[in-house]
Amino acid sequence: MSAFVDAQSGGFSINLVHRDFEGSPFYNPKETPARRVGIAGRRSIGRVHRFSSRSISDPSDPDAQLTANNGEYLVNISLGTPPFPIVAIADTGSDIIWTQCRNLAGPKRLFDTKSSSSYRTVSCSSNACNSLQSEGSSCSSDGSVCEYQVSYGDQSHTQGDVAAETLTLESKTGNPVALPKTVIGCGHDNAGTFSPKGSGIVGLGGGPASLVSQLGSSIGGKFSYCMVPYAAAKPTSTMNFGTNAVVSGNGVLSTPLISDPSQPTFYFLQLEAVSVGSKKIAFQGSSIGGSGNIIIDSGTTLTLVPTDFFSQLSDAVETQVTGGTKTSDPEGFFSLCYVPDSSLKLPPVTAHFKGADVVLTSDNIFIQVNDKVVCLAFYANDQLSIYGNVAQQIFLIGYDLPKQTLSFKPTDCTNT
């Protein structure tokens, strides 16, 4: 049964694994927790550079490894018939579904199109090719096959064919969810710093080539996710599609989901202010995104805000913290850190989105660097404002694209 039928009859859910958790191919047991968190913070800054220069074919785009292995949440997918397993990044900040493909003498860990009976390249005149124009689509030299090209600032690049192929997701019920004729990029010329540990990306952005857009009406334009906190014993989070993605019941808060036709990939929100205790700090944020001033993104760890706002927020938190002992980040990345002993009392913090006052928990405000240090999970950045995944943890986050709303529901994500 195809995923389109499954989605219409009840939706489906899949597991997500954080790249730094045990069980991920990127997990490095030799790294200290402080080192992992510091690297995740730096990945957040790398995404800003990429988002700020959205022209994918522009060689000045600086973050070469992002498409290959710098997202935060991984999903197990398969491509082809018979299914070939791939570890992919699930990314709301990307549109294209892309993987490294095997050449004649290439490594067997990569997808071999010749071994799949369902693989078909697409023509330059097809709607599928047109949907990838923002990803640098073009025609082959003989004009018969649609191609894509992605270039990066360190001279890494990937280029290959645009194809229709069966993509299979591993659902939480154990029943594979097959998506026939999914439009993908199949990279045959991959040079630079692409990781051998992860060879794919599943774009979940708002553009026409993303998985969400390709599923379209079969999922009613709905998806959601519930991400466990960094300190959770359970390493898996959940992503839902279709009727499984409906966010309802007590405690649900909704805010407009704002689209910008010039940047269809990104999901913008309007953040009006953040309160720390009784102090309310007005938020201006980024000037892009129409009336939206902050991007919500699953692949950015920290919440990135303008320097002036960050200074006010950090000062307000520091002023209202009681007990505990202020300390330094072992990696020197974060600016406000404390020893998390029993005397530490954090002020209440509320994110005031348009129409939704979202009360954050300590797990959303501070990130645990190690057993002896927690640090403020916000970071100063004047290029772009992003509401990161630490702030989204322990909430069921629902996207309803037809209604253009995003919903928050406080949820124990370890039980989803």
* Residues annotated as part of the active site: 91, 297
- Order of strands, sheet of 279-282, starting from the edge strand that comes earlier in the sequence: 279-282, 271-276, 349-353, 356-360
Scan for tokens 């970071």, then name that residue.
379
Q: Which residue type occupies 193?
A: T
Burial class of residue 1 in the structure, from the number of CB atoms within 10 Å of its CB (0-12 exposed, 13-18 middle, 19+ buried): exposed
Residue 126 CA: distances (Å) to CA of 138, 165, 166, 183:
12, 15, 18, 11
How far from the centroid of its chain's Cα atoms is residue 60's Cα? Answer: 22
Compute the distance between CA of residue 246 and CA of residue 34 in angstroms, rounded to an integer.
Answer: 36
Query: Strand 386-387 to strand 395-400: parallel, antiparallel, or no bridges (unpaired)?
Result: unpaired
How far from the centroid of its chain's Cα atoms is residue 388's Cα? Answer: 9
Buried b / exposed e over 203-227, threshold 16 CB at 10 Å, is bbbbbbbbbbbbbeebbbbbbbbbb
Please count the CA atoms within 13 angstroms of the CA of 15 that sit on its side-chain side: 18
Residue 208 CA: distances (Å) to CA of 213, 240, 353:
5, 19, 27
Rounding to the nearest 10 degrees, give the CA dihedral for residues 89, 214, 206, 25: 0
Residue 49 CA: distances (Å) to CA of 56, 63, 69, 318, 392:
12, 7, 16, 29, 22
Compute the distance between CA of residue 340 and CA of residue 374 in angstroms, rounded to an integer.
Answer: 6
Q: Which residue type occupies 29?
A: P
